[in-house]
Amino acid sequence: MTVAETDGIGEHRLALQSALGDDIVLTDADAMAHYCRDWHGDVTSGAVAVLRPRSTEDVAASVRICRELGLGIVPQGGNTGLVLGAIPDMPERHVVLSLERMNRIRKIDADDFSAVVEAGCILWEMKEAIAEKGMFFPLALGAQGSCRIGGNVSTNAGGINVLRYGMTRELVLGLEVVLPDGSIFDGLSTLRKDNRGVDLKQLFIGAEGTLGIITAVSIKLMPYPDKVATALLGLASLQDAISLYRRARRDCCDLMSAFEFMPPLAFTLAREAMPDLPILIAPDYPAYVLMEISGSGLVDIDDLMQRFLEGVMTDGLVVDGTIAASQAQARNLWLIREGMNEGQARRGSHMRSDISVSLSQLASFVADAEAAILQALPDCISVSYGHVGDGNVHLNVLPPAGLAPDERAERIYRAKTVLNEVVDRYYGSISAEHGIGRLKRPDFDARLPETHRKLLTAVKRAIDPGLMMNPGCQLNFQPKS
Amino acid sequence: MTVAETDGIGEHRLALQSALGDDIVLTDADAMAHYCRDWHGDVTSGAVAVLRPRSTEDVAASVRICRELGLGIVPQGGNTGLVLGAIPDMPERHVVLSLERMNRIRKIDADDFSAVVEAGCILWEMKEAIAEKGMFFPLALGAQGSCRIGGNVSTNAGGINVLRYGMTRELVLGLEVVLPDGSIFDGLSTLRKDNRGVDLKQLFIGAEGTLGIITAVSIKLMPYPDKVATALLGLASLQDAISLYRRARRDCCDLMSAFEFMPPLAFTLAREAMPDLPILIAPDYPAYVLMEISGSGLVDIDDLMQRFLEGVMTDGLVVDGTIAASQAQARNLWLIREGMNEGQARRGSHMRSDISVSLSQLASFVADAEAAILQALPDCISVSYGHVGDGNVHLNVLPPAGLAPDERAERIYRAKTVLNEVVDRYYGSISAEHGIGRLKRPDFDARLPETHRKLLTAVKRAIDPGLMMNPGCQLNFQPKS
């Protein structure tokens, strides 16, 4: 950083403080560090300042002063994203705008099956408050204790319940957004049906803050599903898991809420992170499925699970299985899934992916991709797991222990290259649920059809002509100089 | 029309024929009449030509020549819309582009729970072909024998199954769209999850052809729900119907597929259209609910309906009820709903509406609105019915028999004014599921918040700078001269 740039930062900080006040503007490097580091700790950056508005009007004022100063704004929720969508890549030109203080639940209306919440609400806390009213918000993902609903909407988060309830997009009834010109888009209606023309709010869902800053969300609620049956099943192959999913969709109708597949390695990894975790099934079947059926009211969920499993075991589709006999046992089954992630993290930096292909091709995709990686990187291990119903696989590649950092980085880079080549062959998506952020921008950019690019650029320039909203995220809209 | 304009039309017709060929271009007034008249027969218009492309490339060529000639394009599906979205309002400046010949089913993949269909597929025919593969596409509305899927997507159609499966938007996986510059947006992927940045296809869903022409759609399929239980219930009030809906959402979990309310007048109207229709319930309860539970596989749907009704009748929430004992009886119950619409049509032109309010306020809204109309128009009759779960009411007003046409028109105009005033008081929507088209443009325009207008205009001008796509639909984007 040159002296002139440092001076520029100083002036910008003074201007921000004078416009917004010390309560909102953080500039201390230590205090800012937490907002400028990604969830995995892979990347550390900085910012001109971190702004922490308490209200929609504060956000609007923040946008106006940043615009005046020519600063880019990187909106941030719980900072749990996995693709560097909320971390500035030009510390001397960007501010982070954290929504964490806008965390009020404005309304939970059980009679109306809706709620209005501010962007900074932590997903889990919000779900707990909703559950207290007998209602349910189905979004469920690993980071739910830290992620915030504004970030979930901005990234159109997925998670384990998508097969039944859809992505976050399908759970949103309305949005309040501060636009790049500092005006407030008030679309917080809770109407279930509203067909008044082009649905503008859709633009901001999944835009990762590149078109405006989501400050509040109205959402759909469901009756709380107080009956849950959870089973861990051992199968002869991933292909059988897919056949099982199809059968479960028909047999269990719309009452299935999760259907996750895992390899046997999941148990090893989970035990590395949680040595005392009970494993209630033989750990050496070629494939496992963690399945959940849930509901409320008059449907006997336990009986449904029992009869379903009897049928598929009789037919040989499932080789072995265990149904959780208590909530604690169900929790332990889910801990295998979570422990597997923690176990991977303990093996050091590795390649993570988030791919979707068509359901029909999921098994052959995993086989082809794992074979390609084994051939290119014989000393690495592939771990494939994910959401069968969504054709969504997280195929991760773990380099062996004892490699030097640059050797690990080289393995990770090559693994990604090999994997993406297979993804392209299957017409798959390189981001099923995590978004693009800055991490996947080059891969996204390289695959973007020309018509998509023109349309995306036209929309971006129409709504954010100053290109100040989350610059560098998703696409670099700067004209090439 | 002046001679000069007629000459202009003649030149334009020649240019269209020379660019696209006689097979695609209709100019004969009789042949065009069918495309230039709305569903109710309320409005008759004309066009420079009706274009009937057979392929996506034909559509692109049509857009390019129209652009060259400076002609506006009005895309049309089955022409069953209720808001004049597909009828030109400048016959000497607009062409109708009918998608009816693009009616191939490109793929039905039961294993993948998806299909790819061209815009001109008739909804019912498409659903039948899908059912033959054991699958189900849940969109269901009165016009399904004539409407086409491209129009359903363009208008984000609703219908009777929205409470369970969502609007058309939630059933769409991908789109192919011809853009105003004649390029083809190929977004026909069938991936269930794809989070690669801003979801551009959302722009075209519900845009009523104002941003581009949808030529093909990929859609979600479900297992066919071969078990259906249908019941007609008599209740003490609409408020009780809402309480019943809340209870049904919890008791029947996600297995309820329809929950319609009707007034006792429904039976009178249905009998006027279908004198022999059996009515299997006393016709004088204050409110009726037509309820459907459906599913596939291992859930006993009949038993669920039985136990649900026992509970709510014991509690006095439902006074009387009949469960269809056969498919024929179920069909007859639905015929009451359909006959009611036909009965209204037989009473001559009347005011139709399509309103949504919050579920909690549905009963008081209907009471207030009917009282306001009774006071303003004591010789007219209100008929309110609709989709409880969506807070969606069709409150129609029937003028008395024997009025002169201009007197009827005056009643209809005043009824709409009175009704909209009540809708505004309830923060409701003047279009829950029908769209804006040209019919509701003035009412939409008058209620559009300034931030929405700026955003909508920016998006329109970015994608369709020549303002050639469905001019006059939704909003008049022309600068005021």
Strand A392-398 relative to strand B25-26, pairing:
unpaired
Chain A nearest-CA residue for B390: A192
Residue A128 forms part of a structural domain = yes
pLDDT for B354 equals 97
- Domain final residue pick, B76, B98, B120: B98
Who contacts B196 (Cβ-Cβ below 8 Å, separation ≥6)? A429, A430, A431, A436, A444
Amino acid present at B468: M
The reply to whether A307 touches chain B by the CB within 8 Å rule is yes
For the cut 50, the answer to whether the pLDDT of residue B2 exceeds it is no
Q: Read off the CATH number of the domain in which B178 is found.
A: 3.30.465.10
Q: What is the mean pLDDT of residues B392-413?
A: 96
Q: B1 in helix, strand or coil?
A: coil
Structure tokens at A141: 């993902």
Nearest to B251 among A253, A297, A456 (CB): A297
Q: Which of B97, B93, B2, B1 is nearest to B48 (CA)?
A: B93
For the cut 70, the answer to whether the pLDDT of residue B151 exceeds it is yes
* Residue B480 pLDDT class (50, 70, 90 cuts): low
Q: What is the mean pLDDT of residues B193-201?
A: 96
Who contacts B426 (Cβ-Cβ below 8 Å, separation ≥6)? B357, B358, B361, B365, B368
Shortest Cα distance, chain A CAs vs residue B251, angstroms: 4
For the cut 60, the answer to whether the pLDDT of residue A267 exceeds it is yes
Locus of tokens 């930096």: A349
Mutating which of B133, B196, B199, B474 best tests the A interface, going by the most A Cβ atoms within 10 A?
B196
Residues A283 and A331 in one domain: yes
Residues A400 and A379: their CA atoms lie apart, in Å, by 6
pLDDT tens, position by position, A34-56: 999 998 888 999 999 999 999 99
Q: Residue A4's CB: how many other CB atoms inside 10 A?
A: 8
Residues B275 and B368 in one domain: no
* Residue B42 pLDDT class (50, 70, 90 cuts): confident
Mutating which of A196, A199, A210, A228 best tests the B interface, going by the most B Cβ atoms within 10 A?
A196
Residues B129 and B175 in one domain: yes
Residue A138 φ/ψ, nearest 5 degrees: -80, -10
CA angle A12, A15, A21 (to 5 degrees): 125
* A306, A342, A391, A395, B302 from A366: Cα distances, Å: 30, 22, 11, 8, 41
Q: Read off the CATH number of the domain in which A378 is found.
A: 3.30.70.2740
For the cut 70, the answer to whether the pLDDT of residue A132 exceeds it is yes
For the cut 80, the answer to whether the pLDDT of residue A5 exceeds it is no
Who contacts B39 (Cβ-Cβ below 8 Å, separation ≥6)? B79, B80, B81, B82, B143
The reply to whether B374 touches chain A by the CB within 8 Å rule is no
Q: Would you say the C-alpha torsion A409, A415, A421, A426 has a positive or negative sign?
A: negative
The chain-wide mean pLDDT, for chain A, equals 96
C-alpha B157: how far from its chain's center?
Answer: 4
As a dihedral over the C-alpha atoms of residue B344, residue B346, residue B351, residue B354, rounded to 10 degrees, the angle is 40
Q: Which of A204, A254, A226 is nearest to B220 (CA)?
A: A254
Residue A207 φ/ψ, nearest 5 degrees: -85, -5
* Residue A451 pLDDT class (50, 70, 90 cuts): very high
The length of chain B is: 481
pLDDT tens, position by position, A429-446: 999 999 999 999 999 999
pLDDT for B53 equals 98
pLDDT for A480 equals 54
Which secondary structure element, helix H or strand E, spans residue A187, and what is its range? Answer: strand A184-187
pLDDT for B31 equals 96
Q: Any alpha helices (H) in A70-133, and if so which ranges?
A: 123-132
Chain B nearest-CA residue for A247: B297
Residues A113 and A211 in one domain: yes
Contact, A205 vs A176, CB < 8 A? Answer: no
Residues B342 and B367 in one domain: no
Q: Please give the DSSP secondary-structure letter assigned to residue B41.
A: S
For the cut 60, the answer to whether the pLDDT of residue A194 exceeds it is yes
Amino acid present at B128: E
Chain A nearest-CA residue for B357: A191
pLDDT for B478 equals 78
C-alpha B207: how far from its chain's center?
Answer: 13
pLDDT tens, position by position, B94-142: 999 999 999 999 999 999 999 999 999 999 999 999 999 999 999 999 9
Residue B248 φ/ψ, nearest 5 degrees: -65, -40
Longest dimension (CA), chain A: 75
Q: Scan residues 254-273 of B and list those with Cβ closer than 8 Å to A.
A: 254-255
Q: Put residue B108 in one of left, alpha, beta given phi > 0 → left and psi -120 to 50 → alpha.
A: beta
Q: Put residue B329 in one of left, alpha, beta given phi > 0 → left and psi -120 to 50 → alpha.
A: alpha
Residue B473 forms part of a structural domain = no
Q: Would you say the C-alpha torsion A324, A325, A327, A331 has a positive or negative sign?
A: negative
Residues B175 and A170: their CA atoms lie apart, in Å, by 17
3-state helix, strand, coil in chain B (%, to 5): 40, 20, 40
Q: Report the half-sphere exposure of B152 (CA within 13 A, side-chain side).
A: 34
Residues A194 and A205: their CA atoms lie apart, in Å, by 17
Chain A CB contacts of B195 under 8 Å are 155-156, 158, 167, 206, 429, 431-436
Do B192 and A391 count as a contact with CB atoms less than 8 A apart?
yes
Contact, A139 vs A124, CB < 8 A? Answer: no
Nearest to A251 among B156, B170, B297 (CB): B297
Rounded to two decimals, the ipTM of the complex is 0.96
For the cut 90, the answer to whether the pLDDT of residue A299 exceeds it is yes
The reply to whether B314 touches chain A by the CB within 8 Å rule is no
Chain B nearest-CA residue for A360: B112
* Residue B267 pLDDT class (50, 70, 90 cuts): very high
Residues B300 and B270 in one domain: yes
* Residue B4 pLDDT class (50, 70, 90 cuts): very low
Residues B125 and B146: their CA atoms lie apart, in Å, by 9
Residues A32 and A119 in one domain: no
Residues A38 and A134 in one domain: no
Shortest Cα distance, chain B CAs vs residue A72, angstroms: 19
Do A197 and B429 count as a contact with CB atoms less than 8 A apart?
no
The reply to whether A461 touches chain B by the CB within 8 Å rule is yes
* Residue B40 pLDDT class (50, 70, 90 cuts): confident
pLDDT tens, position by position, A137-156: 999 999 999 999 999 999 99
Residues B382 and B371: their CA atoms lie apart, in Å, by 9
Query: Which residues sit opposite B331 in a β-bridge?
Result: none
Please give the share of chain B, as a percent, with pLDDT higher than 70: 98
Structure tokens at B453: 């207008």
pLDDT for B1 equals 41
pLDDT for A40 equals 82
What residue numbers bound the domain in which B51 lies?
3-98
Nearest to B162 among A167, A193, A389 (CB): A193
pLDDT for B3 equals 43
Do A432 and B193 count as a contact with CB atoms less than 8 A apart?
yes
Residues A147 and A249 in one domain: no
For the cut 50, the answer to whether the pLDDT of residue A2 exceeds it is no
Do B428 and A191 count as a contact with CB atoms less than 8 A apart?
yes
Please give the share of chain A, as a percent, with pLDDT higher than 90: 96
Residue A478 forms part of a structural domain = no
CA angle B93, B99, B105 (to 5 degrees): 170
Residue A435 forms part of a structural domain = no
Longest dimension (CA), chain B: 75
* Residue A4 pLDDT class (50, 70, 90 cuts): very low
Do A297 and B166 count as a contact with CB atoms less than 8 A apart?
no
pLDDT tens, position by position, B160-179: 999 999 999 999 999 999 99
Contact, A356 vs A391, CB < 8 A? Answer: yes
The reply to whether A474 touches chain B by the CB within 8 Å rule is yes
Q: What is the mean pLDDT of residues A245-251?
A: 97
Contact, A456 vs A61, CB < 8 A? Answer: no
The chain-wide mean pLDDT, for chain B, equals 96
Q: Which of B365, B369, B253, B264 is nearest to B301 (CA)?
A: B253
Residue A231 forms part of a structural domain = yes
- The structural domain count of chain A equals 4
Residue B476 forms part of a structural domain = no
Q: Which of A453, B246, B81, A466 is nearest to A474 (CA)?
A: A453
Chain A CB contacts of B194 under 8 Å are 356, 429, 431-432
Residue A64 forms part of a structural domain = yes
Nearest to B299 among A158, A249, A253 (CB): A253
- Crossing angle between the packed helical segments A362-376 and A405-425, to the nearest 10 degrees: 140
DSSP A349-415: S-B---EE--GGGHHHHHHHHHHHHHHH-TT-EEEEEEEGGGTEEEEEEEPPTT--HHHHHHHHHHH
Q: Put residue B50 in one of left, alpha, beta given phi > 0 → left and psi -120 to 50 → alpha.
A: beta
Residues B92 and B175 in one domain: no
pLDDT for A479 equals 66
For the cut 90, the answer to whether the pLDDT of residue B41 exceeds it is no
pLDDT tens, position by position, B278-334: 998 999 999 999 999 999 999 999 999 999 999 999 999 999 999 999 999 999 999
- Domain final residue pick, B70, B98, B126: B98
Residues A150 and A197 in one domain: yes
Residues A321 and A282: their CA atoms lie apart, in Å, by 9
Residues B125 and A228: their CA atoms lie apart, in Å, by 38
Residue A376 forms part of a structural domain = yes
- Domain final residue pick, A98, A126, A157: A98
Q: Read off the CATH number of the domain in which B77 is found.
A: 3.30.43.10
Shortest Cα distance, chain B CAs vs residue A38, angstroms: 19
Residues A33 and A90 in one domain: yes
Contact, B59 vs B95, CB < 8 A? Answer: no
Chain A CB contacts of B205 under 8 Å are 199, 202
